[in-house]
Structure 1
Amino acid sequence: MQDSFIDLLKLLLPEIIVDYFELTSYKKEDETLHLYLKEINSIPKEHRESKLSSKGFFEEITVQDFPIRGHQVYLHITRRRWLNE
């Protein structure tokens, strides 16, 4: 079931979002859909050689995405704060 859910998300969201973020929750209002995404605790490929550690999160940002079936879509994205040790 989880694999089919991820496949569905890949159709709706950019691939990089699905690869590096997890959907933590969503909220549907009248004609608006809010998707809440949090960065996965995985060091990005281009920085794997560095000694990085996750030290909390940046403030949430909100990005308006393309509408889905007449609903406005907002992505609420929370990124990790990576520090070089």
Structure 2
Amino acid sequence: MPKIKAVEKRIWDVEGFDVQFHQNGKDVRGDKQGVPQYGYERAAKNDMTVSEWRDTRFHNSYPGYQVEVLDGDGAFVHGGTKLGTVRDTYEE
């Protein structure tokens, strides 16, 4: 089983945005092991919202964890934001 930081990197590689794992309201250390690797091969569609991505991709793969999606400046993104908008913040 990979470490959290490896899963976060895999999400970046597939989805094109950074994430931060949380558990019980606290940031999860990157060296924590025992989580499955992110299983998706293709990025979610740009018109999917952050909340939809969390519900359909993240929570199904990582029950017991929460996730924050970060924009290109490292700020947390609101759940109603489209993934395409988030990805665009990294291209500037």
Same fold, TM-score > 0.5, yes or no:
no
Per residue, is there more strand in 1 or in 2?
1
TM-score (norm. length: structure 2): 0.27
Kindly indicate which of the two structures has a greater share of residues assigned to helix: 2
Q: Which has the higher contact order (CA 8 A, sep 6+)?
A: 2
TM-score, normalising length: structure 1: 0.28
From the CA coordinates, give the structure whose radius of gyration is larger.
Answer: 1
